[in-house]
Amino acid sequence: MSPRNVTVLDYGSGNIRSAVRALEHAGASVTLSAKPDDVLNADGLVVPGVGAFAAVMQGLKDVDAIRMIGRRVAGGRPVLGICVGLQVLFDEGVEHGVRTKGMGEWPGVVERLAADVVPHMGWNTVTPPEGSALFEGIEDQRFYFVHSYGVQKWDFDVTQPAMRPPQVTWADHGGPFIAAVENGALAATQFHPEKSGDAGAALLNNWLKTLG
């Protein structure tokens, strides 16, 4: 099987090179780009995100990525968000009392974690749902997190009987928060698979398998 073509979205977010290297290590042919042809036509698109919710949203707007991500999702073309790349897929983020509108792909608000120690930095276990494609074979592994904010409630209404509800993976740091979501072509992780050693490599490999 020829390598899957993956575009890592280049919009000014930090730490993109490690995502590129991890995907290449997992067997993908990787392009770092924000050009519409590369973003729209790749087998898979990875949206990394580091830093503040509002800054990431602005960076995405600056390269017209929100429209392009929406087009990919509407067409069933796979997208994987990482860290703040997960957070911006929700309705809104609240940082230092400032509310910023997100992409609204999923309902929910990104808020400061309720833990005594923030940021949540380091390795943690996750609880994936039955039948998760991302976590197949790595359900009991630990993943690397670096974040102060997260989505702590999930309230998703299935309006069509035939619709399969998103699969949500949880983790805990001072209370439960969303560690990953799998929703058809759209998936995202709050942790950094590119910093999560063998477990992260296996997760990226699982995601690449879904691009077929």
CB atoms within 10 A of CB 153: 11
Is 136 labeled as catalytic in the residue annotation? no
In this prediction, residue 109 carries a pLDDT of 97
Q: Which of 92, 105, 182, 194 is catalytic?
A: 194
The Cβ of residue 18 has, within 10 Å, a number of other Cβ atoms equal to 13
Catalytic residue among 120, 147, 173, 192: 192
Question: What is the predicted pLDDT for the residue at 183?
Answer: 96
Could you tell me the two tokens for 43? 């087998």
Whether residue 119 has a cis bond before it, omega within 30° of 0:
yes
Spell out the SS3 assignment of the chain: CCCCEEEEECCCCCCHHHHHHHHHHCCCEEEEECCHHHHHHCCEEEEEECCCHHHHHHHHHHCCHHHHHHHHHHCCCCEEEEEHHHHCCEEEEEECCEEEECCCCEEEEEEECCCCCCCEEEEEECECCCCCCCCCCCCCCEEEEEECEEECCCCCCCCCCCCCCCEEEEEECCCEEEEEEEECCEEEECCCHHHCHHHHHHHHHHHHHCCC
Q: Is 192 considered catalytic here?
A: yes
Active site residue 24: no
pLDDT at position 157, please?
Answer: 75
pLDDT for residue 212? 76
User: What is the full per-residue pLDDT of the chain (212 aa) written as tens digits?
Assistant: 689 999 999 998 877 999 999 999 999 999 999 999 999 999 999 999 999 999 999 999 999 999 999 999 999 999 999 999 999 999 999 998 999 999 999 999 999 999 999 999 999 999 999 999 999 999 999 999 999 999 999 988 766 666 688 999 999 999 999 999 999 999 999 999 999 999 999 999 999 999 97
Tokens of 71: 């087009």
Options 83, 92, 120, 182, the catalytic residue: 83
Strands 167-172 and 149-151: unpaired
pLDDT at 160: 67
| Contact partners, residue 118, CB within 8 Å, separation at least 6 | 112, 148, 174
Token pair recorded at residue 168: 């949500």
| pLDDT at res. 180 | 98
